[in-house]
Amino acid sequence: MSFRRRFAAVLSGCAALALAGAAHAVEPAAPVLPTYTAAYQPQTKDERGIWMEADEDERVLRDSVLLMRDEGLNAYVRQVLCREVGEDRCRSVRLYIVEVPQFNASMAPNGTMRVWTGLLLRVQNEAELASVLGHEFAHFELRHSLAGIKAKRDAASLAAWIGVLSAGAANIGTGGAGNGSTLQLAVLGNYFKFSREQETAADLLGLQYMAKSPYDPAAASQIWQSIMAEADARSVARGLKPGREYKAAFFGTHPPSPERAAYLKAEADKLGKRGELRAQEYREAIRPFLPRLLAAQVRSNDFGGSEYLLQTLSATEGWTGDLLFARGELFRQRGNPRDLVTAADLFRDAIAKGYANPEAHRELGLSLMRGGQEADGKAALREYLKLKPDANDGNVIKMLVGS
């Protein structure tokens, strides 16, 4: 058989493999809640390697300055997880709350769950938080870390061989390089579809947890509606077209957010259950940490997304002193002349609402001075020094006010 025919046969086989995998990835069936195996230990060389890496990562995480170590907050988030997945599953988890303002949570195969503070700021009730935590636990229970490593390795190996064969074909003038590139994309694309299939399976198993928990399964869809609305607000503020952030590209590992919200709602409707949201309980638990979470969000250089979050929080809480101060900081940091006027008004409103942090007077003074209102600005800065005579920046502020 000639090289051309042998090469064509290889390409044909690879194409069949890619297409078969793609066909297999269509509409995974909802998994049945599995019998849980506690204290699972790695069985293979691959698993042991993954577990060792996860253990080392956890040792670093345990000593990180980014951890929020408040016992009450950690106990509360853990309680939500346990209500979602059940006490037997919950015992497998070591939970860490990490001060990162973006929306995320993850779980390692050794039982380490990371919850970013940006998630705590964005969810509006316990049920939404539970849906995300349950999704991450589902990845853990379904052993997706190992399956993902194997799929990635197999796809990379097959794509590499196609590249080698394509180069050989091009050297003898067959013109097969273009076909090889196309098949490499097909193989690698199939890997990322496999990852999206894992995400869908974790979503569906998470709904099974919610069906057995006190929580309302409809919350699993609602959180993605909110994330899309925030993404649209961010895009508009940056002069971009709404929708571009959450439309999955070819190599996206998560289902597109509109698709995800739709199938989660459809599956929740099939369950026919209306459980608890526990919105008031959530707000009360998070309220002591809200200034810290808001400050981190405002520093993230995301005016549109931050403004959306503040507006969302005010819809349930009203414009509290904490929210007004954070919004004032948002406008002050953007720093346009009209923003400084808005910021000064917001800082005054925060003070009038009883916001007791002396920094409100400092930010008011700095905004006024940058806007050319030196007399009023210096008066606000003097009030800051009066309320906080031992301020770390006291000497700098004294220089500004000339005393």
Q: Determine the average pLDDT of the residues in 137-159.
A: 64
Q: Which of 162, 189, 221 is at the close of a domain?
A: 221
- How many domains is the chain partitioned into structurally? 2
Check whether residue 198 and residue 328 sit in a common domain.
Answer: no
pLDDT of residue 50: 75
* CATH assignment at residue 332: 1.25.40.10
Q: Is-contact 355 377, C-beta < 8 A? A: no
Q: What is the pTM of this model?
A: 0.78
Question: Residue 353: is its pLDDT beyond 70?
Answer: yes
Query: For residue 252, what pLDDT is reported?
Result: 53
Query: Which segment of 216-220, 310-314, 316-320 scores lowest on mean pLDDT?
Result: 316-320
User: According to the model, what pLDDT value does residue 174 have?
Assistant: 44
Distance, in Å, from the CA atom of 368 to the CA atom of 328, rounded to the nearest integer, reads 12
What span, in angstroms and rounded, lies between the C-alpha atoms of 53 and 68?
23
- Return the pLDDT at 143: 81
User: Are 89 and 202 within one domain?
Assistant: yes
Under DSSP, the state recorded for 137 is H
Q: Would you say residue 258 lies in a domain?
A: no
Q: What is the pLDDT of residue 146?
A: 63
Residues 357, 340: Cα–Cα separation, whole Å: 20
- Examine the domain organization and report whether 213 and 314 are in the same domain: no
User: What DSSP assignment string belongs to 356-396?
Assistant: --THHHHHHHHHHHHTT-HHHHHHHHHHHHHH-TT-TTHHH
- Enter the tokens of residue 289: 């940490």
State which residues form the domain around 372. 295-401
Residue 193 identity (one-letter amino acid): K
* Assigned domain for 64 exists: yes
The verdict on residue 37 lying in a domain is yes
- Residue 235's contacts (CB-CB under 8 Å, 6 or more residues apart) are 241, 242, 243, 244, 245, 304
Q: Is the pLDDT of residue 172 over 70?
A: no
Given this model, what pLDDT does residue 224 score?
A: 92
| Shared-domain flag, residues 185 and 66 | yes
Amino acid at 199: E
Let me know if residue 99 belongs to a domain.
yes
State the pLDDT at residue 107. 87
Q: Identify whether 353 is part of a domain.
A: yes
pLDDT at 23 over 80: no
Reply yes or no on whether the pLDDT at 166 is more than 80: no
State pLDDT tens for residues 281-291.
Answer: 999 999 999 99
Choosing from 163, 188, 221, the residue where a domain stops is 221
Q: Are residues 36 and 139 in the same domain?
A: yes
pLDDT of residue 3: 38
Is the model's pLDDT at 140 over the cut of 60?
yes
Bridge-based pairing of strands 112-116 and 105-107 is antiparallel
pLDDT value at position 352?
A: 96
Do residues 66 and 199 both lie within one domain? yes
Residues 7 and 102 in one domain: yes
Least trusted range by pLDDT, from 35-39, 240-244, 333-337: 35-39
- Using alpha carbons, select from 22, 62, 231, 217 the residue that is nearest to residue 125: 217
